[in-house]
Structure 1
Amino acid sequence: MFPSIELAIFVTAVIAVGAQAETHTVTFTNLCGKGVPTLKANGVTLSTGGAYTSNGPLEGAIAYLDVSCGANGEGCTMIETTLVNPTTSGSGSSTDITLISPHSFSVTTGFGYYNGCDGAGADCTSSSCSTAFRVDSDSGVQVACQADNVDLAITFCD
Structure 2
Amino acid sequence: MFSSLKVAALSVLALAAGQALAESHTVTFDNRCGRGTPMLISQTGAVLSTGGAYTINGPLRGAIAYLQTGNCGFNGERCTLVETTLVNPSTAGSGSSTDLSLIAPHSFSVTTGFGYVGACAPAGADCNNANCNTAFHQPSDTFVQVACQKDNANLVITFCL
Q: What TM-score comes out, normalization by structure 1 length?
A: 0.93
State how far apart, in whole Å, the 1-side matches of 2:99 and 2:58 are.
Answer: 20
Determine if contact 1:78/1:99 at 8 Å carries over to the other structure. yes
Q: Please state whether the residue corresponding to 2:88 is helix, strand or coil.
A: coil
Aligned twin of 2:38: 37
- How many correspondences in the alignment? 158
Aligned twin of 2:62: 60
Please report the RMSD computed on the Cα atoms of aligned residues, expressed in angstroms: 1.6
User: What percent of counterpart residues are identical?
Assistant: 63
Q: Say whether residues 1:111 and 2:111 are aligned partners.
A: no
State how far apart, in whole Å, the 2-side matches of 1:40 and 1:8 are.
Answer: 43
Aligned twin of 1:6: 6
1:33 positional shift: 0.6
Aligned twin of 2:26: 25
Matched residue type, 2:125: A
1:44 positional shift: 0.6
1:9 positional shift: 3.2
Aligned twin of 1:137: 140
State how far apart, in whole Å, the 1-side matches of 2:115 and 2:108 are.
Answer: 19
1:128 positional shift: 1.4
State how far apart, in whole Å, the 1-side matches of 2:14 and 2:68 are.
Answer: 42
1:18 positional shift: 1.6
State how far apart, in whole Å, the 1-side matches of 2:110 and 2:119 are.
Answer: 27
Task: Extract unaligned runs of 5+ from structure 1.
Answer: none
State how far apart, in whole Å, the 1-side matches of 2:41 and 2:122 are.
Answer: 24
Determine if contact 1:116/1:151 at 8 Å carries over to the other structure. no
1:87 positional shift: 1.1
1:116 positional shift: 1.7
The correspondence for 2:91, drawn from 88, 91, 103, is 88
Q: Please state whether the residue corresponding to 2:26 is helix, strand or coil.
A: strand
Q: Which stretch shows the higher mean deviation, 13-22 or 39-48?
A: 13-22
Matched residue type, 1:22: E
State how far apart, in whole Å, the 2-side matches of 1:59 and 1:53 are.
Answer: 13
State how far apart, in whole Å, the 2-side matches of 1:24 and 1:8 are.
Answer: 31
Aligned twin of 1:101: 104
State how far apart, in whole Å, the 1-side matches of 2:147 and 2:8 are.
Answer: 40
Please list every run of at least 4 consecutive aligned residues from structure 1 whose deviation after the TM superposition is greater than 2 angstroms: 1-9
1:14 positional shift: 1.7
State how far apart, in whole Å, the 2-side matches of 1:27 and 1:17 are.
Answer: 28
1:2 positional shift: 3.8
